[in-house]
Amino acid sequence: MLRKSQNLKYMLSLVPGKKRFGVYRFLPVFFCIGGVMEWIMINVRIGRETFYDVYRRKQSERAYQQKTEEGLIMLTDSQAK
């Protein structure tokens, strides 16, 4: 266990900027990871949908449900089923 901790500490010490930036020297790495995740959620399709397709559909369903509960939209018998 101690050996793994030393290896990790050594790997982290290889990242430049320790004196000037401290732990914030890892910030650009996490910023890039976040950008890649955002790109994947927008552009990569799993099945037929992206993450944002699902998000927009669920948001639309919630808005419709809220309007029906408030009585702004009246359901007919064929729509209720």
Residues 14-31 pLDDT 10s: 888 888 988 899 999 999
Q: How many domains does the chain have?
A: 1
* 5 within domain boundaries: no
Is position 7 within any domain?
no
Name the pLDDT band for 57 (thresholds 50, 70, 90). very high
Contacts of 68 (CB under 8 A, 6+ apart): 75
pLDDT value of position 62: 94
Query: Phi and psi for 49 in degrees, rounded to 5?
Result: -130, 150
Residues of the domain holding 37? 21-80
Task: Name the strand (E) or helix (H) holding 50.
Answer: none
In a domain, residue 16? The reply is no
Looking at the domain assignment, is residue 60 inside a domain?
Answer: yes
Cα(72)–Cα(66) distance, integer angstroms: 9
* 24's tokens: 């914030």
